[in-house]
Structure 1
């Protein structure tokens, strides 16, 4: 048996060679990592440099742009710009502070106390000189003031823009308003402002107007657009109120119109931009005050092309209101005939305005009673409105059928001498009761009905007037029964 022993010898050179190889390999890896890091740093630095350069370029661009904007000449010197500019330029310059820093004070024609608290509503209107010294403004102010109560005056402003540049006319108008309404002027409810020539663009050689409009009408409409713009910017800048109602200077309204407007505003369940209290033109359009600047910009953008009463119909959809919201019946009526456009007659009437319901001419005592009807009606136009002596009327939303009726049940027995019931409106001459009977009874079935009616009158041309009611009977009910009743019905009871 042989035992073989194997001996292993360590070669130092070989070991050193291996170690050297490994070190080289690690060095190569480190070098590779270092190279990658270096490349990344270079990329980051390069991107940073590009970013800084881009910021500088943008800053230079906006600086140049702002310098360009601020170099636009004020409105008072537009002739040279128009002559050398092949395209239309937007006028007027909306930031009027650039032209006159205190322009809201400059335009004030009377001194009135400055209000620190915003009110609920500002009513604004523009008035200009009319042919033959025709003035509708005083009737408009009288209607606005007499049809509002004392509490309303704490919540409203009336801003009047005298847009004619005739200084004598402007002075006379201001003095007359102050003389007629000294208290409203003194407490700041009525504010009178005026426009100046530096606020207007050139109104000659207008580049766009409707083909069927004469040059004079195009000029008149363009100026009127800027008048509206200046009024809106004034109300927006001074922040007088939460809401703004645009009127014209030849309108009338109805008693309780402020309350009616408030109720309509509160009844809106969704977002809205414009509420209308007249279907005509720019009469009685209500906006939030904070939207007036945007409206002014849009009207001024198209001041040559179309009147404001067309532009606002396009403005509302841009503000995401895609339908007109008109309160019917409307609260304002156009009364002017002589337009501020010389030689033009404007006889438009609002068909939804209730002309004869604001003053119920019948002066009966109308004793306390309950009023019922078999007709369907709108909640705001309940049958009580037909009986009370204040503002209001009945409006049915269903067609009447045979035996439809009104029932008025007195709270206490009454001795009646005369009964008058009137139906129909001046603006809706065909909406009358053509075939109706007036019946009375003194025998009650229950609290809400009676029996054994007696016919005492018949409607003729929408009206029944019985002056000799039998005095021997104490009646607690009179009833109107009708075979045909128009959809819109107004009933007024008069007991004297």
Structure 2
């Protein structure tokens, strides 16, 4: 189906919608040749959405030779179903804005946008700034990185930078109480910057999401992962709309990063940002961290994310729209100005251990092996603890470890679980890589199913401070690991050397190895 004259093809991308599914892109000259093409079988009248040079949505319905068009608010019908697509391009600082998308086979999704409902703390400055930094934040299981991220951004920028930069922190979890509590805490912690306009704290107004169980899965993702990444796209689209008119440029971060020293000055010195022939610049080597746009493009990107929120993950969408905008080659600043330091993802049971090796600042070296998310527990010891290297450092996720001064016979390290657990494995890692001789030289591992941590059962002995139930030659080991309430390491012989426990790992029975 040829719709446009040959000369205008580079200004237009054709997106085909059938009555049953979003089918994807049709070839845009050679711009998106790298992406897989899909066969197209349309029932009834052919339908297309065109995005012109300014990415204003235009609907075209082709019935034989007749072409009908309408602009912005679009409703189109077929004999078998009805679909609705509204992409609204009003100012992001309009009081109320709604974009409705009815995905095939799902309930209607409406993006509710209201500045007054979103902005909780802070204010807009009278003049447009240089840069807006957008940081979405969602609840992670028993972990929170946002304060370290904010501290790093503040510590590594100058007072002059703070006058022309706005940091927008968006709490966008499904738990509204969590959002409000975090927003209040951030406002109290950083009140000086809230008052100056350097920091704004917003929350995502309640959204009525589609039924993700009914949306076709892509990349063979589970429904849980599809839901997570689809919501992420919707949340980012909201943040883009909110930030589009605050500054000349926009940069997207995650809530678990640290910044390099003088990162704002490095961005200003990068001459390419003041040129016109780019759409996207990356100031980090990882995912959706340090992604830099012109603010004038934020509404376009927001519309694009809303259109394909359930089809592609955010970083894939970003690569696609960059090619649509005719940026063939990636533009990446090195050294990277932002480092990923978080471990626990907002997606349940997902861990991120990778770091950016091109980071300008101090390298983060992962010295632990597991970074396991253990079940809730109280951790204590009768050993003499060295400074801040307390007993909990070996059990909960962090970069430190438990360090004891010359353990003596009979001293213990004890974990009391909040709830009984059936374990698949119990692993203890002794000495730290930088202190390989510091470990409990003689000790045994014990477990108990008693509520009062009595009737201890010996599982085995430490070997150079380490232990792994998978190496225990006991046919009853699986039975012994049922309904555990307490775990204990007991020193069986005094030593003069100090001792480290790097990690104590409880692999629960339902977990994958």
TM-score with structure 1 setting the length: 0.52
Determine whether 1:103 maps to 2:123: no
**Does the aligned pair in 2 maintain the 1:91–1:301 contact within 8 Å?**
no
CA distance in 2, matches of 1:271, 1:228: 24
Cα 1:303/1:63, change in 2 over 3 Å: closer
How is 1:262-341 mapped onto 2 (pairs within 5 angstroms)?
262-265=268-271, 271-341=277-347
Cα 1:131/1:166, change in 2 over 3 Å: same
**Does the aligned pair in 1 maintain the 2:74–2:84 contact within 8 Å?**
no
How is 1:80-479 mapped onto 2 (pairs within 5 angstroms)?
86=81, 90=85, 97-99=96-98, 103-110=114-121, 112-132=122-142, 134-198=143-207, 200-236=208-244, 239-265=245-271, 271-356=277-362
**Does the aligned pair in 2 maintain the 1:91–1:300 contact within 8 Å?**
no
Normalized per residue, which structure has more helix?
Answer: 1
Cα 1:91/1:222, change in 2 over 3 Å: farther
CA distance in 1, matches of 2:83, 2:343: 35
**Does the aligned pair in 1 maintain the 2:153–2:258 contact within 8 Å?**
yes
Tell me by how many angstroms 1:101 deviates.
10
Cα 1:203/1:344, change in 2 over 3 Å: farther
SS in structure 2 of the partner of residue 248 of structure 1: coil
Cα 1:290/1:64, change in 2 over 3 Å: closer
Which structure has more relative contact order (CA 8 Å, sep 6+)? It is 1
SS in structure 1 of the partner of residue 169 of structure 2: strand
The superposition leaves residues 194-216 of structure 1 with CA deviations (integer Å, 9 ceiling, x where unpaired) of 11233x54142242332431110
Cα 1:214/1:94, change in 2 over 3 Å: farther
**Does the aligned pair in 2 maintain the 1:90–1:300 contact within 8 Å?**
no
The answer for unaligned runs of 5 or more in structure 2 is 1-65, 99-110, 365-513
**Does the aligned pair in 1 maintain the 2:74–2:85 contact within 8 Å?**
no
Tell me by how many angstroms 1:91 deviates.
7.2
SS in structure 2 of the partner of residue 245 of structure 1: strand
Tell me by how many angstroms 1:345 deviates.
1.0
- Rg (Cα) greater in structure: 1
The superposition leaves residues 324-351 of structure 1 with CA deviations (integer Å, 9 ceiling, x where unpaired) of 1111111101111101111211222122
**Does the aligned pair in 2 maintain the 1:92–1:201 contact within 8 Å?**
no
Cα 1:249/1:329, change in 2 over 3 Å: same
**Does the aligned pair in 1 maintain the 2:73–2:85 contact within 8 Å?**
no
**Does the aligned pair in 2 maintain the 1:140–1:249 contact within 8 Å?**
yes
Moved more, 140-149 or 343-352: 343-352
CA distance in 2, matches of 1:246, 1:267: 15
Cα 1:206/1:252, change in 2 over 3 Å: farther
CA distance in 2, matches of 1:280, 1:357: 14
CA distance in 2, matches of 1:85, 1:143: 55
The superposition leaves residues 166-192 of structure 1 with CA deviations (integer Å, 9 ceiling, x where unpaired) of 232122211221122110011111111
CA distance in 1, matches of 2:113, 2:302: 19
**Does the aligned pair in 2 maintain the 1:203–1:223 contact within 8 Å?**
no
**Does the aligned pair in 1 maintain the 2:75–2:84 contact within 8 Å?**
no
CA distance in 2, matches of 1:108, 1:192: 6
SS in structure 1 of the partner of residue 303 of structure 2: helix
**Does the aligned pair in 2 maintain the 1:209–1:306 contact within 8 Å?**
no
Normalized per residue, which structure has more strand?
Answer: 2
Cα 1:265/1:308, change in 2 over 3 Å: farther
CA distance in 2, matches of 1:209, 1:329: 37
TM-score with structure 2 setting the length: 0.50
The answer for unaligned runs of 5 or more in structure 1 is 1-60, 73-80, 359-496
SS in structure 1 of the partner of residue 157 of structure 2: coil
**Does the aligned pair in 1 maintain the 2:113–2:205 contact within 8 Å?**
no
The superposition leaves residues 54-79 of structure 1 with CA deviations (integer Å, 9 ceiling, x where unpaired) of xxxxxxx999957x94789xxxxxxx
